[in-house]
Amino acid sequence: MSKIAIIAALQRELRPLVRSWKPATLTHNGRSFPAYQHEDLVALIGGIGCHAAQLAAQAAVAQYAPQMLISAGVAGALMRSLKVGNIITPNVIMNSASGTEYRCDQGGGILVTAGEIAGNTSKQALVEKFHALAVDMEAAAVAEVAKNAQIGFRCVKAISDEAEFLMPPLQRFVDAEGNLQTGRFLAWAALRPQYWPRVAALARNSQRAAQALCEWLKDQLAHGLPPATVVTLERAEFLEAKH
Q: What is the pLDDT of residue 150?
A: 95
List the one residue out of 148, 60, 154 whose CA is nearest residue 111.
Answer: 154
Q: What is the pLDDT of residue 235?
A: 56
Largest Cα span, the chain = 51
* 243 residues of the chain, pLDDT tens digit each: 569 999 999 999 999 999 999 999 999 999 999 999 999 999 999 999 999 999 999 999 999 999 999 999 999 999 999 999 999 999 999 999 998 999 999 999 999 999 999 887 889 899 999 999 999 999 999 999 999 999 999 999 999 999 999 999 999 999 989 999 999 999 999 999 999 999 999 999 999 999 999 999 999 999 988 889 999 876 554 445 444
Report pTM: 0.92
Q: How far is the C-alpha of 153 from the C-alpha of 62, rounded, in Å?
A: 16
Integer CA distances (angstroms), 75 to 36, 137, 139, 241, in order: 22, 8, 10, 28
* In the chain, where the domains are located: 4-235
Q: What is the pLDDT of residue 47?
A: 96
Q: What is the pLDDT of residue 73?
A: 98
Specify the CATH number for 4-235; select among 2.60.40.1120, 1.10.540.10, 3.30.70.2700, 3.40.50.1580: 3.40.50.1580
Q: How far is the C-alpha of 48 from the C-alpha of 102, rounded, in Å?
A: 20
Q: What is the pLDDT of residue 2?
A: 66
The HSE-up count of residue 169 (CA atoms within 13 Å, CB side) is 6
Q: What is the pLDDT of residue 119?
A: 82
For residue 36, give the DSSP letter: E
